[in-house]
Structure 1
């Protein structure tokens, strides 16, 4: 059986549960009020990527059934939420600052390697053409600012503890 047919066979299309192409949309009772919510969970994930309000049906008691249009919109929205989360995480783990050193632009980068047991970070200085001027290990809580980058460059890019 082809992968596409297997995936189609594993798909579920019910009023309150759709599972298709690696995503599950489940309409659930909203715990905060009398309404309904929809939870979007990607296969392999324990927690939903997106939980949002869901429309009431015509009887004003039960939820509106899921349909292909709503499901596709929910998948697109869940992807966007995940992408923003990944961008936010990447921004927390990488930072670039440009400074001038002897009239030339230098980029100072801080890259944090998250690890529950042994997190680390690297501070790197590169020229405009990408040549590496210095690379040193720093504490993962190192605070990179334009002033700290300039001080590091002006001091000759010492290793921590050398300045």
Structure 2
């Protein structure tokens, strides 16, 4: 940006600060999201990147429509931006659901006439990942909890073996 009488240095955002709202043909920022229309490096078309404020990488990158001149991109507008925000938010939500499903598993087993729910919660520590294996009765009351390898395989067989063993540290049955 060039500084002049219309843009004094005091009015510039500080490092790391972003204006709350920008509504330009190729850059739109509002409600915690930024849409940026970019040249598609793979062909002659255009793409749009949707980035949530504070994130380094876009949550969504997709094709963008050409304008009437068939050379330049169609300008962003309120309707398009709102649709992009909704789509990008859904992508993030699905990613979070998938991650949750990978890190949190549970299985219920019947031991005698008692139903026990066994859960496995993986803690994805960068240096020493591990998991917590826990058991709860039919009312949700905790019965046992033990730290296990992040590679522990929870299934009906391993859960039943753990419960039947008296909740000791699982051995090879969980691998």
Q: Normalization by structure 2: what TM-score?
A: 0.84
Distance 1:162 1:45 in 2: 41
| Residues 36-115 of structure 1 aligned to structure 2 (within 5 Å) | 36-115=46-125
1:151 offset after TM fit, Å?
A: 1.2
- Following TM superposition, the consecutive aligned residue runs of length 4 or more in structure 1 with deviations greater than 6 angstroms are none
Distance 2:20 2:165 in 1: 62
Distance 1:26 1:162 in 2: 52
Q: Which runs of 5+ in 2 are unaligned?
A: 1-18
1:161 offset after TM fit, Å?
A: 4.8
Equivalent pairs counted in the alignment come to: 155
Q: Which runs of 5+ in 1 are unaligned?
A: 1-8
Aligned residues: CA RMSD = 1.5
CA spacing shift, 1:88–1:100, aligned 2, 3 Å: same
CA spacing shift, 1:69–1:162, aligned 2, 3 Å: closer
Q: Secondary structure at the match of 2:74?
A: coil
Q: Normalization by structure 1: what TM-score?
A: 0.90
